[in-house]
Amino acid sequence: MQQLYSTRLEVAAPDPIHTRAAVLAEVAAWAWREDSEPPDFLAEVRGETSGEDFSLVWQTLDPDGSPDSLTQVLLTHEDEQHPGLEWVTAVSLIATDNSVRVSVMIQRRASQMRVAPASLDLHRPRIVPRLISHHDCSSGDGIPLSQIERTLEPGDIECFVRDVLTLPDRALPVLVLSPPPGEESPDASPRYLADALAGLAHVFVLSGHLAWERLRDALDSNSMPRSGARLFWPGFGGEEDGLRHPFWGRSGLRHQPGRRSFGRHLFAILAPLSVLRVPSDPAILTIRRAHAEHLRSELAERSAEEAVGEALEQLEQVEDLQRQVEELRDELEEKNALILAHEENWRYAAIPTPEGTETDAGEQPVAGPARVESWEEAAELAEMLVGEALILTENASGQLADCNYPDPARMFDHLERLADAAAAYDAADGDIGARFEDWIHTSFGIEVALHDTGLAEAGGATFEFEGHTYSREPHVKVDDHKDPASCGRIYFALDGDAKRIIVDHIGLHL
């Protein structure tokens, strides 16, 4: 069993009975694949039916004396591209006397023995934006969900930062877009992204440059690319916020041949995380226990013949529950494996794509879209890397816009990794437990040398910054053993007192 996607919707229910009926009718209409009328989940508490290419199973548990009810719906259909695989979408609706909650999960499993690669083209189930569009829904944190983007005018920024972006209990990521003027890819448009990520993220778009300035000022940081997007994880701005909130420039939003589109890339990041971070609704187990207790009470009052029938029915339910327990054990093992696999990738906020999975038709699996295409864009995005841990001197900042190194994407990638290392160095208070050059190579995949004899002999080994003299012999080897016109370097000072990295040269080997 392969767990692929999970979300949970809190549905506003001033009249829970009416809301439950409306939601169940929508779930039935979505799941039914025939031209005839869909089943009535309210009238039939248990049922099973199938069509030419799907099967549908549903059950409602409504324990006597309890105001709570649970309706579970399983839609199963074959994978069109890969025989022997089938998709299972599970919808669970819990209704209480004052609330309605809907959980949606997608799984893929084998229906026959066939050990062979199988590509995966996963999208969010259509029932999610359908429910969001017809009901007032949230993820339990009070922030309304929407299947269309929400525009931020300059006057909206203060409330947005307070009530959404830095809300301590926020459950979902927030994607903020600052679209490049005159450029818009269909698969990176705010409307497409809001629909594609419904139930996984909130999507907002800045109305223009003034809104971007207001957001930057409100956060007192380099919070947004001027032309691009940023994903803000829950917990952003809090005291314990140690996550990297990923960002993309204008080239990252542009679809490029041979690479996954921006929208698909984001979905590939968020869907696996949803499996790990959306817990099962605890009310499901509570209602199942209450239902089982109700059956035991009834069984004690029945005649022997009725008791035998009830016992057989209960035995079937016990066997069904045992199968569910085994599936949950398998799911737990898979989640634990995913957690271990993704822990190292968490700080980069981009989950590598396993071979043969998560690809669109004709695309090769890749970790994400290209980050920069020009030195102008590199200079803009470099502002996002600067903070207490990484400093760019005026000399380094001035070199980026018109750099003489031939590959801006490669240089920016090394600068970004150096920024990640600087943040980790600062967080560890300089105590990294190894030689700096060994630690940074092992943890961040870049090669660093702490000395440059030629630079020292030429008299260019130091620079002045904030009234102090620093050595800039330490450098990142972007390239090595190349001709001088292609050999990239990032020269920096390792400030052990302030636990920071000060970059003073970005470009060719000095």
Which of 225, 255, 285 represents a domain boundary (last residue)? 255
For 313, the domain range is 2-137+277-340
Average pLDDT value over all residues in the chain = 84
Bridging pattern class, strands 85-95 and 69-78? antiparallel
Residues 145 and 229 occupy one common structural domain: yes
For the chain, give the number of residues.
510
Q: Are residues 101 and 44 in the same domain?
A: yes
What b/e string do you get for 299-336 counting C-beta neighbours within 10 Å, with b at 16 or more? beeeeeeeeeebeeebeebeeeeeeeeeeeeebeeeee
Reported as a single tens digit per residue, the pLDDT across 61-81 is 887 766 789 999 999 999 888
Report which listed range, 246-255, 267-276, 298-307, 350-359, is most confident: 267-276
Strand partners, 391: 502
Residues near 286 by beta carbon (within 8 Å), at least 6 away in sequence: 68
- Residue 191 to residues 128, 194, 199, Cα–Cα distance (Å): 16, 5, 14
Q: What angle do CA 464, 502, 484 make, to 5 degrees?
A: 90
Q: Are residue 239 and residue 187 in the same domain, yes or no?
A: yes
Listed as own residue / partner, the contacts of 32-35 with beta carbons closer than 8 Å and 24 or more positions apart are 32/56, 33/77
Q: Would 354 be classed as within a structural domain?
A: no
Which pLDDT belongs to residue 359? 38
CATH number, domain with residue 150: 3.40.30
Residues 63 and 175 in one domain: no
Among 194-203, 236-245, 352-361, 468-477, whose mean pLDDT is lowest?
352-361
Most confident of 149-163, 238-252, 321-335: 149-163
In the chain, count of helices (H) and strands (E)? 14, 19
Number of structural domains the chain divides into: 3
Residues 407 and 290 in one domain: no
Shared domain for 133 and 145, answered yes or no, is: no
Residue 367 lies in a domain: no
- Which of 188, 195, 358, 198 lies closest to 268 in space, CA to CA? 358
Q: For residue 444, give the amino acid letter.
A: F
Q: What is the pTM of this model?
A: 0.81
Give the model's confidence band at 288: pLDDT under 50 very low, under 70 low, under 90 confident, else very high: confident
478-490 tens-digit pLDDT: 988 778 788 999 9
Higher local confidence (pLDDT), 40 or 361: 40
Task: Check residue 299 and give its pLDDT.
Answer: 67
Say whether both 15 and 123 belong to one domain.
yes
283 and 395 together in one domain: no
Q: Reply yes or no on whether the pLDDT at 32 is more than 50.
A: yes
Q: Do 154 and 303 have their domain in common? A: no
201-223: pLDDT as tens digits: 999 999 999 999 999 999 877 78
Run of H or E residues at 471: strand 468-471
Is 448 within a domain?
A: yes
Range with the poorest average pLDDT among 121-135, 192-206, 213-227? 213-227
Question: Which residue among 289, 320, 340 closes a domain?
Answer: 340
